[in-house]
A and B are shown apart, each in its own frame.
Chain A
Amino acid sequence: MNNSVTNTARLLGAGLRALLVLTLLTGVLYPLAVTGIAQALFHNKANGSEITADGRVVGSALIGQAYNLPLKKGQETPEPDLKWFQGRPQNGLGANSVNTQYKLILSGATNRSADNKDLIDWVTAAKAAVIKDNSTADYKVKPSDVPADAVTSSGSGLDPDISPQYARIQVHRIAEQNGLTVAQVQHLVAEHTTGRTLGFMGEPRVNVLELNIALKALVAEN
């Protein structure tokens, strides 16, 4: 009995030593080496692909933002600022519930199933809003024009992109709100549309932050 206890202890000791040595290798040296190379060669990307406009950082090219009007008194959900291109709904996004000394973005999805009542309500409301917001005096958005990404939340809640189709149906509204011609805005969208990588990877998309930065510059020019 004593013998087997000693043996077990000896074996556990070996396991612990193995773990500590490998922690030094894979948990200290490896991440430090990768960080060193990353910071030296890809400084901006390794630190979050931040974008500067008008001399200040306005976000990360990879992290989607909300383009809303400031909350009015008594309002709980903000209204979209229709001057700017709108991204996808972010119903899965949260705020941190622990370590509340910070106000961290908590990435995430809604995890609602297709037959979930909340999701059906959200999608229905979002579709109605997209149609209403984007229809102008001489341009009517048809329900069949609204792509799925415009009315659904993404996996991360931080999707920086929208589909080219969702950008297209916002063009008339953006032109009207900013005193631009439809052709000008269409040109802007086309310039900021990224196709599939190598023609087949992923889906075509438009980065909303970059598009809005360009839009702001265009409005300032006019």
Chain B
Amino acid sequence: MGPVLAGVLQLLALMAALALAHIPLGTYMARVYSSDKHWRVEKWIYKGIGADPNTEMRWPAYLRGVLAFSAAGVLFLYLLQRLQGVLPGSLGFASIDPDQAFNTAVSFVTNTNWQSYYGEQAMGHVVQTAGLAVQNFVSAAVGIAVAVALVRGFARSRTGELGNFWADMVRGVVRILLPGAFVAAIVLVACGVIQNFSGIHEVGQFMGGSQQWNGGAVASQEAIKELGTNGGGYFNANSAHPFENPTPFTNLFEIFLLLVIPFALTRTFGVMVGSVKQGYAILATMATIWIGFTALMMWTEFAHHGPAFDIAGGAMEGKETRFGVGASSIFATATTLTSTGAVDSFHSSFTGLGGGITMLGMMLGEIAPGGTGSGLYGMLIMAIIAVFIAGLMVGRTPEYLGKKIGTREIKLAACYILITPALVLVFTAAAMALPTPGHSMTNSGAHGFSEILYAYTSASNNNGSAFAGLNADTQWFNSTLGLCMLLGRFLPMVFVLALAGSLAEQRPVPETAGTLRTNKPLFVGLLVGAILIITGLTYFPALALGPLAEGLAS
């Protein structure tokens, strides 16, 4: 069997596993967010918080919950890093500098997991396990909660009530992420991912002497890092590190983990709005883009155009032998089409066009299938834009799922899709125009520009992967990328929740012969087209200067 066929078979196996898993998981999640029973452990947690989980919240109250919880998260994680030098269980590692601590705290709370530090030399057990990994859970749960609030906006009528933030967030952790991560962590350890608290290991070598490596609770963090589409590696090499991702099976398993909740949420959506077909239409849109991007990525990576790869005879720079080109291409596409940002191979050393595909995946807004929760709400915003465009063509007031898309709704959706491009393009332009940020580049020419464009794209879309040649541990990058992560995470949430509130207040409009059927293939095609054209128009000039220039030159 050749590597191309093996790559295709791995993709097919992944599709089959996701197809099998998304229905039971999606239905289960719909039950989790519709149930009015509380588990005992949840009641203890609510008592600890001092919140009544049965109080219904309107959108401003829901948003205040999101913001307060996230602000507390940033503060706590910042202090934990600043105090690392005096914390026990930290291997004697020094405290993190203020700008890097700010960047890292924001990064993990926003589900980005951009890392301007080297995990193995900077973060001790306590910060990794009780700080960073905790945010892997809760930031993912916050994302799902906001998505569920939007779904309730479609499902409910003549009420402004969207549910209870604390209940949604806690249930996401207790009933979905924690059991899933626990099982996944044990599977990973069984395959060779390390899990210990024994500090620095000094181990002999074949040729004599010894080497030192950093032990830690890696499997428990790796599991939630993928399942929660977080992506922050325990080690600098992330999922390319053999202790995070030791075998071809763990590699596919990790890709499965990072895709499964975003895809399953389409089922949750379908069940909660009372029509699983509507969920299938969203799923089909996501899957079309995901499979198309993966196929393109495999094509360009196997074709390996570029001077160094022509000499080497293959695009293996930055890729591990056990994964090869095929599995690395699948991982790279999945991680940038979700908000994960974990890597099993280094995107900066992909072909010019391959690097462009990773960037374009993020630029789509990470909606195919996107991050936990953020993928679904991002895609539903695009669906609103698509029915609006269709409505303009035929001169009808657009509607979606029985709700009118009026002036207020379309304004909120438009604001949503303008935020990240504005952040990406303005900050990239500023970094290019200023004298010093360019000094952080490792590569020159088009690829150097791509390093900076990639950084702001990744931060603003809360992805976290990088063209890692860029030295991002400078005050400029730590601060501006931190700002992009914050604004790119929470401003969209403001618009999503406002939209959810306004949809929930509406009375449903009855379906007529003139209603656009949003559960049919025609709509899927329209939606895919709208997504690609809107993103294409927004980012084409920037992409032309970076990855397209590099890819077409070789």
Among the stretches A119-127, A133-141, A181-189, the one at the interface with B is A119-127
A151 to B316, CA, bound (A): 9
In chain B, what residue has the closest Cβ to A143?
B313
Question: Are B49 and A18 touching (Cβ within 8 A)?
Answer: yes
Please, which residues of chain A bring their CB within 8 A of the CB of B346? 92, 109-111, 155
For A115, give its contact among B205, B247, B553 (CB under 8 Å).
Answer: B553
Question: Are A34 and B219 touching (Cβ within 8 A)?
Answer: yes
For B203, give its contact among A53, A57, A110 (CB under 8 Å).
Answer: A57
Question: Are B50 and A103 touching (Cβ within 8 A)?
Answer: no
For A203, give its contact among B248, B349, B352 (CB under 8 Å).
Answer: B248
A105 to B201, CA, bound (A): 11
A65 to B206, CA, bound (A): 8
Please, which residues of chain A bring their CB within 8 A of the CB of B318? 92, 109-111, 152-155
Please, which residues of chain B bring their CB within 8 A of the CB of A148? 304, 309, 312-316
Please, which residues of chain A bring their CB within 8 A of the CB of B241? 107, 156, 158
A124 in contact with B320 given A47-B198, A196-B6, A200-B10 (CB within 8 Å): no
For B212, give its contact among A33, A46, A103 (CB under 8 Å).
Answer: A103
Within 8 A of A (CB), among B214-267: 214-215, 217, 219-221, 224, 235-237, 240-243, 246-249, 251-252
A42 in contact with B189 given A102-B212, A112-B317 (CB within 8 Å): yes
Please, which residues of chain B bring their CB within 8 A of the CB of A92? 318, 346
Question: Are A99 and B324 touching (Cβ within 8 A)?
Answer: no
A102 to B213, CA, bound (A): 9
A106 to B117, CA, bound (A): 11
A99 to B94, CA, bound (A): 7
A159 in contact with B320 given A14-B51, A196-B6 (CB within 8 Å): yes
Please, which residues of chain B bring their CB within 8 A of the CB of A102? 91, 121, 200, 212
A151 to B308, CA, bound (A): 10
Question: Are B247 and A197 touching (Cβ within 8 A)?
Answer: yes
For A63, give its contact among B197, B224, B242 (CB under 8 Å).
Answer: B242
A38 to B445, CA, bound (A): 48
Within the complex, the shortest CB–CB distance from A146 to chain B, in Å, comes to 7
Within 8 A of B (CB), among A25-77: 25-28, 30-31, 33-35, 37-39, 41-42, 45-50, 53, 56-60, 62-68
Question: Are B240 and A116 touching (Cβ within 8 A)?
Answer: no
Please, which residues of chain B bring their CB within 8 A of the CB of A13? 50
Within 8 A of B (CB), among A185-220: 196-203, 205, 209, 212-213
Within the complex, the shortest CB–CB distance from B105 to chain A, in Å, comes to 12
Please, which residues of chain A bring their CB within 8 A of the CB of B290? none
Interface residues on B, range: 35 or more
Question: Are A12 and B196 touching (Cβ within 8 A)?
Answer: no
Please, which residues of chain B bring their CB within 8 A of the CB of A177? none
In chain A, what residue has the closest Cβ to B190?
A42
A89 to B243, CA, bound (A): 19
Please, which residues of chain B bring their CB within 8 A of the CB of A65? 205-207, 211
Please, which residues of chain B bring their CB within 8 A of the CB of A12? 68, 71-72
Question: Are B319 and A154 touching (Cβ within 8 A)?
Answer: yes
For B312, give its contact among A67, A127, A159 (CB under 8 Å).
Answer: A127
Within the complex, the shortest CB–CB distance from B104 to chain A, in Å, comes to 14
A35 to B196, CA, bound (A): 6
Please, which residues of chain B bring their CB within 8 A of the CB of A123? 308, 311-312, 317
A151 to B217, CA, bound (A): 33
Please, which residues of chain B bring their CB within 8 A of the CB of A58? 204-206
Question: Are B240 and A155 touching (Cβ within 8 A)?
Answer: yes
Question: Are B307 and A120 touching (Cβ within 8 A)?
Answer: yes
For residue A129, CB closer than 8 A to chain B, the reply is: no
Question: Are A35 and B211 touching (Cβ within 8 A)?
Answer: no
Among the stretches B127-135, B378-386, B511-519, the one at the interface with A is B127-135
Please, which residues of chain A bring their CB within 8 A of the CB of B219? 34, 38, 46
Within the complex, the shortest CB–CB distance from B196 to chain A, in Å, comes to 5
Question: Are B205 and A59 touching (Cβ within 8 A)?
Answer: yes
Question: Are B207 and A67 touching (Cβ within 8 A)?
Answer: yes
Question: Are B212 and A114 touching (Cβ within 8 A)?
Answer: no
In chain A, what residue has the closest Cβ to B198?
A47
For residue B93, CB closer than 8 A to chain A, the reply is: yes
Question: Are A18 and B166 touching (Cβ within 8 A)?
Answer: yes
Please, which residues of chain B bring their CB within 8 A of the CB of A111? 318, 346, 348-349, 442-443, 467-469
Question: Are B121 and A66 touching (Cβ within 8 A)?
Answer: no
Question: Are B206 and A212 touching (Cβ within 8 A)?
Answer: yes
A201 in contact with B327 given A151-B312, A155-B318 (CB within 8 Å): yes
Please, which residues of chain A bring their CB within 8 A of the CB of B120? 96, 104-107
For residue A163, CB closer than 8 A to chain B, the reply is: yes
Question: Are A202 and B469 touching (Cβ within 8 A)?
Answer: no
Within the complex, the shortest CB–CB distance from B182 to chain A, in Å, comes to 7
For residue B1, CB closer than 8 A to chain A, the reply is: yes
Within the complex, the shortest CB–CB distance from B299 to chain A, in Å, comes to 16
4 A-B pairs closest in CB distance: A202-B248, A114-B306, A148-B314, A155-B240
11 contacts between A and B (CB under 8 A): A11-B64, A17-B49, A18-B49, A18-B169, A26-B224, A37-B189, A45-B189, A112-B317, A149-B316, A155-B319, A200-B9
Interface residues of A (CB under 8 A from B): 8, 11-23, 25-28, 30-31, 33-35, 37-39, 41-42, 45-50, 53, 56-60, 62-68, 81, 84, 88, 92, 96-99, 101-116, 119-120, 123-124, 127, 144, 146-149, 151-163, 196-203, 205, 209, 212-213
